[in-house]
Amino acid sequence: MALRVSQIAKLLLGLWMAGVLVAMFAIIPQYEGLGNAGRIIIMHVPTAWVSVLAFGASAVFSGLYLWRHRPADDDRAVAAAECGFLFTVLATVTGAIFSQVVWGIYWNWDPRQTSIFVLLLIYAGLFALRAALEDINQRRQLSAVFSLFAFVTVPFLIFIAPRMAESTLHPNCAFLPGSDCAGVLIEEGKLNLLGDRVVQLVSVEQQGDTVTTQVLVREPGMQGETILMPSYNLSEAAAVEMPTFPGITYRLKIEDVDMNARSVRLNIEAPVTETSDARTRLTLLASTLGFTALFVWMFRIRSTLLGVQWQLDQRKGAVV
């Protein structure tokens, strides 16, 4: 009975992911300004999320191994780490494909790309460590400790480091309409990055309560540049003119002005309709659930195989 339920669940997962693919390519609307390249978010974000989940599971089972010293916990920790590594590679590859389409280059050592690369190196180190140690008890104990330390770096490398970086092309704001993005503070004459656009504050002029600015906007891949003139009302503390970026319907908005420092806070206003937003978000949620289930399935297969291998080794007398 349990086997039958398990088989049905796996078949449903197959159909579910096929449905996610159909929704990704044929149902959700294009991202404004990004065309079909934006659809890759449906694969990219869930794989990155599942990699965090998998590395977390690996750390939990490593902790359990150190506590209980059961070989099955070590098998599960390794299986989870391997799955996490695979999903991180998928997130990196889908990100690189997006990067090629939007920025014109597969890899440019953006803070987000660099941090995920470091994460891959850390977990590659775990596998190298396991391969290097012959004594099985030593291998299990050291890799469990390594896995715990490796997981400490995961939140930092995935969530914190890319956000600490002052310049990243990773489009957090441009991709997620309604997300709480603080925008960028920019002084007169200086450059900064807003989503996937390079912006330069050329001038700031005040006439009465209205502050008018000239902002030079460079398109992704440096394919073109335009001067936009957003403005701001000081007495109402509200944006007045919000010009659209060239070729897309995102708008450039001034959120705050400091005339003493001659600086403004610029942000992206993303006019996405409620319907299209809901479809995209639902597909993203469905994809995240599907990838999580896929991870659980792969994790179970791999840990079962590692357990079988361990039992066979024991029977052969290869392991003392």
Which residues are near another protein by CB under 8 A?
10, 14, 17-18, 21-22, 24-26, 36, 297-298, 300-301, 304-305, 307-308, 311-312, 315, 317
Between helices 274-316 and 71-103, what is the axis angle to 10°?
140
Do 254 and 222 contact (CB within 8 A), yes or no?
no
Residue count of the chain, please give it: 320
Residue that has been written with the tokens 């600086």 in this structure: 263
Nearer to another protein, 21 or 229 (CB): 21
Nearer to another protein, 7 or 167 (CB): 7
Q: Shortest approach of another protein to residue 300 CB, angstroms? A: 8
Nearer to another protein, 37 or 202 (CB): 37
Rounded to whole angstroms, how far apart are CA atoms 34 and 170? 13
Rounded to whole angstroms, how far apart are CA atoms 161 and 130? 28
Please, which residues bridge with residue 268 across strands? 252
29-to-20, 53, 91, 197, 301 alpha-carbon distances in Å: 14, 29, 22, 22, 36
Q: Shortest approach of another protein to residue 161 CB, angstroms? A: 31
Nearer to another protein, 14 or 224 (CB): 14
201-to-150, 214, 251, 262 alpha-carbon distances in Å: 41, 6, 16, 10
DSSP class of 243 = P
Torsion, Cα 132 134 140 145, to 10 degrees, reads -40
Nearer to another protein, 138 or 309 (CB): 309
Rounded to whole angstroms, how far apart are CA atoms 30 and 74? 44
Q: What is the DSSP string of 75-125?
A: HHHHHHHHHHHHHHHHHHHHHHHHHHHHHS-S----HHHHHHHHHHHHHHH
Nearer to another protein, 18 or 128 (CB): 18
Q: Shortest approach of another protein to residue 206 CB, angstroms? A: 46
Q: Shortest approach of another protein to residue 62 CB, angstroms? A: 22
Nearer to another protein, 15 or 285 (CB): 15
Q: Shortest approach of another protein to residue 10 CB, angstroms? A: 7
Looking at residue 47, its amino acid is T
Nearer to another protein, 61 or 299 (CB): 299
Q: Shortest approach of another protein to residue 3 CB, angstroms? A: 8
Nearer to another protein, 35 or 125 (CB): 35
Between helices 111-132 and 136-155, what is the axis angle to 10°?
170
